[in-house]
A = this chain, B = another copy of it.
Amino acid sequence: MFRSHTCGELRIENVNSEVTLAGWVQTVRKFGSITFLDLRDRYGITQVVINEQLNDQLNENPLGREFVLQVKGKVIERSNKNPAMDTGDIEIEVKEFSILNKSAVPPFTIQDDTDGGDDIRMKYRFLDLRRNAVKKNLELRYAVNRSTRNYLHEKGFMDIETPFLIKSTPEGARDFVVPSRMNQGQFYALPQSPQTFKQLLMVSGYDRYYQIVKCFRDEDLRADRQPEFTQIDCEMSFVEQEDILNMFEGLIKQIFKDVKGIDYTDKVERMTWEDAMWQYGNDKPDIRFGMKICTIKKPESVYATKSDQNELIADAGFVVFDSAESVLAIPVQGGAAFTRKQLDELTEWVKRPQIGMKGLAYIRYNEDGSLKSSIDKFYAEDRLKQIAEAAGAKQGDIVMILAGAEERTRKATSELRLELGEQLGLRKKEELKLLWVLDFPLFEYSEDDNRWVARHHPFTSPKPDQIKTMIDNNPKIIDAANYLSHPYAQIKANAYDMVLNGNEIGGGSIRIYQRELQEKMFSALGMSDEEALHKFGFLLGAFEYGAPPHGGIAFGFDRLCSILGGSESIRDFIAFPKNNSGRDVMLDAPSSIDDIQLKELSIDIKKKE
């Protein structure tokens, strides 16, 4: 060992001990003939004092930032203690030192507030990883990993490794593929998730499986997507949805406890997908604050069981509302105090192309009970009051109103709600709020192909009482304009998402375990029998030999860590991430390969067209 102690562990009790430390030079400060060093390692920083008798050696071997140093000496009490440092009571009086390795001057400072930009830090990721901020993130990631494994182990789950070189069955996202040298012209695929394998493990009787596992998707990268990412992947047999919800809200609570020291004693709220969309315009609502949507007007085809309040705005000759498919309102507490400027800015904000609204109406419900509105040309004050109160506003509040096509308007209202929540400080970082969103639609309509696609994935089961609807009806969509009236549009799935502070952190479903139903699902998604057999024959086959009822969930591990770490970016929680073009700029990968490798794989690179 090059050290007797780490740079983080010496305390006042160690005074007079002879110790050996090894680490990196964080700073060098000379006071006359005495040199003070901060020596850093993974565990902390210790102050080191080199007195004048070693000055000759120091002069011959000048020290610089990030040099690797070994020092031997005595622990002494500091005269000017530093209570901000764990080791702040002591320092090392150096008797001998040796330079284990030199360092060039780093291209950026190894500090929390580094002077290095994103690009240079990615290129020199091995230096960026030395910064305390990044180290804390990886430590948090490991803590989440450890907590997850301990909880699942206690609950009888087994970590079973599934293969990485599998079969390409693109359905949804693109596969990364791997040419096989031994089977010319054939390819393996890297798994987008271990979905079918974990289901096979259920068929095999391993009734509680988990893995913390890399998955791969060859998608055009949006900000904060990675081509390889990590999942906490779980599956259970002989369970119903309720069992899964209980098991995995337990997991997340345990992680909160182990990693953040937070006792999450609240009941985890639950909401149907329909209610989430109705009240928040969003299938992953941030429920840390209210400001729920009031649907003043909606088309008949959606939210069939819910009523709008169109009578409040109809027949007033206001063409914007009259011609809109939907009119949605949110109340903003205390918003009556918004200035003209603030309202103008919010109006500009909703008119940005990303939001795409034509304008923003408001009703100001003043503290004195009077009402003032951008639409008071069309509505008398008592009508404005009715609308404001329907939206849940009280005196002192303001109501924001958007109008337009249902889908876009609901989305815009949700965005506006989140923006206002942000501006008003209602999305508190230190507050963690969990929510289960339930009863997702089983199918989504794909306009491009005029067919159904699986909203979750093709292995998700419908609600038991809707299996018959699925079996008995032809999935074919005759009248594309009225796809919502097709019976399939109403089928709900045994699917659930866990939402934390407005982020989907996990999702799963109770699976289909009957061959006939699985076949019906594949055909509903436009797959021929032949294609289904070619891609998923092994799973259909497995379902013939006693598949148990089963279901599971997968958590986005990178995302979960970033939320717990209070960061927007998952990259900060990955040791060696790729940039937004899928490149590892440190390695310079991907890169060209040797002709001999191409030849062995029997592939040619096509010329650019």
Contact = CB atoms under 8 A, between A and B. Distances in A.
A190 to B, nearest CB: 7
A592 interface: yes
Interface string A1-39: 111000000000000000000101000000000000000
Contacts of A576: 162-163, 197, 200
Nearest to A182: B582
A201 interface: yes
User: What is the predominant secondary structure among interface residues of chain A facing chain B?
Assistant: loop
Contact of A584 (B167, B168, B606): B167
Contact of A205 (B130, B146, B216, B590): B130
A138 B167 contact: no
Interface string A493-519: 000000000000000000001100000
Contacts of A600: 174
A559 to B, nearest CB: 14
A107 to B, nearest CB: 9
A228 B163 contact: yes
A177 B593 contact: yes
Given A179-B179, A238-B1, A138 B166 contact: no
Contact of A159 (B2, B100, B142): B142
Contacts of A214: 161, 164
Nearest to A606: B602
Contact of A591 (B102, B138, B168): B168
A129 interface: yes
A256 interface: no
A584 B200 contact: no
Contact of A24 (B1, B158, B205): B205
Nearest to A163: B576
Interface in A156-189: 158-168, 170, 174-189
Interface in A516-557: 537-538, 541-549
B205 A129 contact: yes
A385 interface: no
B158 A139 contact: yes
Contacts of A129: 200-201, 204-206
Contacts of A601: 177
A24 B146 CA distance: 33
A491 interface: no
A538 B587 contact: yes
The residue among A103, A189, A221, A238 with the most chain B CB atoms within 10 A of its own CB is A238
A590 B190 contact: no
Interface size class of A (residues with CB under 8 A): 35 or more
A126 interface: yes
A584 B165 contact: yes
Contacts of A142: 158-160
A148 to B, nearest CB: 11
A582 B42 contact: no
Interface string A66-102: 1110000000000000000000000000000000111
A98 to B, nearest CB: 11
A127 interface: yes
A258 interface: no
B587 A547 contact: no
Interface string A571-589: 0001110100111101111
Contact of A160 (B243, B514, B548, B575): B575
A594 B510 CA distance: 31
Contact of A603 (B42, B159, B180, B605): B605
Interface in A113-141: 124-127, 129-130, 135, 138-139, 141
Contacts of A124: 541, 545
B204 A590 contact: no
Residue among A203, A204, A216, A543 with max Cβ neighbours from chain B (10 Å): A204
Given A205-B24, A581-B182, A575 B162 contact: yes
18 contacts: A40-B205, A101-B513, A103-B545, A129-B201, A161-B214, A161-B574, A164-B216, A165-B228, A166-B587, A167-B584, A167-B590, A175-B593, A178-B590, A186-B591, A188-B590, A189-B589, A603-B603, A604-B604
Interface of A: 1-3, 22, 24, 40-42, 66-68, 100-104, 106, 124-127, 129-130, 135, 138-139, 141-142, 145-146, 149, 153, 158-168, 170, 174-190, 197, 200-201, 203-207, 214, 216, 218, 220-221, 227-228, 230, 238-240, 243, 513-514, 537-538, 541-549, 574-576, 578, 581-584, 586-594, 597, 600-606, 608
In the A-B complex, list the 5 residue pairs whose CB atoms are closest, starting with the nearest. A103-B546, A129-B204, A167-B589, A186-B590, A2-B238
